[in-house]
Amino acid sequence: MKFRIRFAASLSTLFLVALSFFAAVAFAGPPLICHAFDIGGAKSLPWISESWNLTGEESYNSRNLATDTIAILDSNSTVLVHMETLRRATIFARKNPQAAKELLTRLVARAESTRQSRDSVALAQFDAGYLAEAFKEWLGKDGSNPAMNFDGYALVKKAIQLRGNDPQMEFAAALIAVEGSASDRLEHAQKALAGSKNDRLLARNLAGHFGGPNTMTLAELISQNSATKVARQ
């Protein structure tokens, strides 16, 4: 009798642990938005909040969003800096539809320019594709979103092919694919994890917890065998 009680209690505990895990997965926020990326001391768009979202006390003029964002992207070739800058830009853009449209339009034109080096073209394609996917996560998927019919993931994959071995771009692609094909995401994740052994900044980001200290790490998020359902804000 005691054995049965203990066995039942163990099953109940395991069930609750599993339930809490899957609940955390199901209600995770958009991965390109709801987690601030570690960029060390690199310059990005102004940010006064200690969390991933705005405080409501920002004084940044989003009419300058496109010009400011592109200036930062052009000044630093580190992909994680691009990811964090585009994350912040997306959050600011939600409050200014005109600025959102201008930023995407200029990044797409920049990606189509042929007067750049191979690496610059790859980064420009990455920026346009990543922003489009971030817009889909944060600005919605209706007609008011300028990226609604834009396949940003395809452009990010094209950038990876052009850039060659880039674990940080693979990390970005894995985050984009969190709700998509598990096989594609896992392929990106494996390359990102392998590359993080020689990339301390990427390793720190992969070890970061998505949603708080008691949640899964970003490495765990992109390495799951099943698709993750994210909560839209």
Q: Whole-angstrom Cα distance, residue 129 to residue 132? A: 5
Q: What percent of the chain has pLDDT over 70?
A: 85
147 or 17, which is more confident: 147
pLDDT of residue 29: 86
pLDDT digits (tens, 9 = 90+) for 149-189: 999 999 999 999 999 999 999 999 999 999 888 999 999 99
Type of residue numbered 56 = G
For residue 2, the model assigns a pLDDT of 47
Structure confidence at residue 114 (pLDDT): 73
Which position has the higher pLDDT, 7 or 196?
A: 196
Distance from C-alpha of 103 to C-alpha of 208, rounded to nearest angstrom: 29
pLDDT of 84-123, one tens digit each? 999 999 999 999 999 999 999 999 999 998 788 999 999 9
Among 180, 192, 215, CA closest to 29: 215
Using the Cα atoms of residue 135, residue 139, residue 145 and residue 146 in order, give the sign of their dihedral.
negative
Helix (H) or strand (E) holding 99: helix 97-112
Q: Whole-prediction pTM value? A: 0.86
Residue 26 has pLDDT above 50, yes or no: no
What is the predicted pLDDT for the residue at 25? 46
What's the pLDDT score for residue 211? 81
Q: What is the average pLDDT across 55-83? A: 96
For 209, the token pair is 């917890």
What residue segments make up the domains of the chain, in order of their start?
29-222
